[in-house]
Amino acid sequence: MAQESFKVLSQEEERKYDLKNLKFYKMSTYNESLAYFLEDGKLLVNPNTPSAEHSLIMNLADFDNDKFPVLPENDTPYYRFKGLMNNTDFTESNMIEIFRQLGFNYQNESFYNDAEKFMKTLSVDDKIKFFIPVLYFIGEDLRKLCPDANWSFETIYYFQPFSEVSLYNERNNFSFYDLNTMLEGKLLNENSITFKNIYKKLETKYLKNKKIWDLR
């Protein structure tokens, strides 16, 4: 067992445990994970999210005290900056402050070109930090096409919960969630697409759907 007395299980390892034969303990009020009794005061803990890659074996006391690990797939920009993932703090001034900390001088007129050059100088950790304000400013440009879209914050109940942000237009049931995945691809997986082309792809998608909505 590691320092916090947990063991990470792969999906293959997890399948060795038949939940039908395990006594259910409870669901965590912290992250909605589901715990089942094992031997020696240990629990099998399953995260309550479809995208989860791992389950845990952990001590009952750690489970009850919300001592959960941060696994690689949970260590997202949204988790690292979860204090900003709300309608009060996800603001232009806070985003510019992150840029300032990174040494990036935000200029509205040249943002896309400047961001393209600047990201090439960043470490992986700094790219994760850069992700959040880039998401905000590209999202704000998309809001000019769809002024009644709002920032939406959806809690992801993994071992360490966090809220993931996207733009959502409820009136026409249109989500700008693709912005998240394209930025993740570019900044975290080195996909060869420019920030400007990310915007253009979403602009095209929105305008295409808007024509359909306007006919209703």
Token code pair at residue 62: 């750690």
Reported as a single tens digit per residue, the pLDDT across 64-85 is: 999 999 988 889 999 999 999 9
Q: What percent of the chain has pLDDT over 90?
A: 69
- CA neighbor of 134 nearest in space, from 173, 157, 102, 160: 102
In this predicted structure, what is the pLDDT of residue 2? 40
- CA neighbor of 63 nearest in space, from 28, 19, 32, 39: 28
Q: What element of type H or E holds 45?
A: strand 42-46
Reported as a single tens digit per residue, the pLDDT across 93-116 is: 999 999 999 999 999 999 999 999
Is the C-alpha dihedral spanning 55, 58, 62, 65 positive or negative?
positive
In this predicted structure, what is the pLDDT of residue 3? 46
Reported as a single tens digit per residue, the pLDDT across 163-181 is: 999 999 877 778 889 999 9
Task: Give all strands of the β-sheet with 42-46 in edge-to-edge order.
Answer: 6-9, 55-59, 42-46, 34-37, 24-27
* Confidence (pTM): 0.87
pLDDT class of 1 with cuts at 50, 70, 90 = very low
Give the long-range contacts of residues 206-214, CB within 8 A, separation 24 or more.
Answer: 206/142, 206/145, 206/146, 206/174, 206/176, 207/145, 209/172, 209/174, 210/145, 210/146, 210/172, 213/172
How many other C-beta atoms lie within 10 A of the C-beta of residue 196? 14
- Which comes out higher in pLDDT, residue 48 or 27? 27
In this predicted structure, what is the pLDDT of residue 216? 45
Whether 213 has a pLDDT exceeding 80, the answer reads no
In this predicted structure, what is the pLDDT of residue 74? 87
Cα separation, 95 vs 112, whole angstroms? 15
pLDDT class of 198 with cuts at 50, 70, 90 = very high
